[in-house]
Amino acid sequence: MTLSVWLSLLPASVLISFTPGAGAINTMTNSLNEGFRRSIWGIIGQQVALLIHIAIVAAGVGLVVAGSPVLFDSIRYAGAAYLVYLGVRMFTAPGEPAAAGELPAETVVGEPAWSMVRRGIWVNLLNPKAVVFFLAFTPQFIRPGMPLLPQYAAFTATIVVVDVLVMWFFFAAAAKGFRRWTRSPRGARALNRVFGALFVLVALLLVFVE
């Protein structure tokens, strides 16, 4: 990948990462519930899903998904159902007040890291529109006349590093501003309902917005 191509890829990657979606909501939720530092586990899971999406496109399987309405819709509805499940579970969760420190009180035990990674994978993976997006996006930065492996490596590294930085230092950090609301049961319940509703909203967009 030439420097000029990479310099066009970099700002495009930043814009993509800043686009609000299920990954951003999941990151902010993890930061609120588990603390800024531990939210990295969910972000890692989301990057695993990004790697899978890029691998699917590079292998040509993405064309099959994009070209099969039944397969595309099956994945889309499964993804929407999972987001609705997360949203309803959060919406109905009891309000647990956070401790005065950097981490909420419940993180004395905390959600296991693998559980956060797994949820991050599913949140990003069950989105067939991401495959279609990468089908349209990836060829803009891959030159067939050059060795493909180094190009895909540079493309993937840029996408992942930028997304980690944006998710952790923007969305997870932004959630810190809401932490004062979690110091009371009422505030914690209100935030649970807000973020639960956002998960459901993203699910509806996934299903109804073409």
Give me the tens of pLDDT residue by residue for the chain, a chain 210 residues long. Answer: 778 888 888 888 888 788 778 888 899 989 888 888 899 999 999 999 999 988 888 887 666 666 778 777 777 787 778 778 877 877 777 655 554 444 444 434 578 899 999 999 998 888 777 777 787 777 778 777 788 888 889 999 999 999 999 999 998 998 877 766 666 666 667 777 777 787 788 778 767 755
Residue with tokens 């009422």: 186
Task: Dihedral sign for Cα 19, 21, 25, 27, please.
Answer: negative
Q: Please state whether the predicted TM-score (pTM) of the whole model is above 0.85.
A: no
Assess contact for 120 and 43: CB atoms under 8 A.
yes
- Token pair belonging to 58: 């590079």
DSSP state of 170: I
**Which amino acid does the sequence have at 25?**
I
Closest CA to 42 of 92, 110, 115: 115
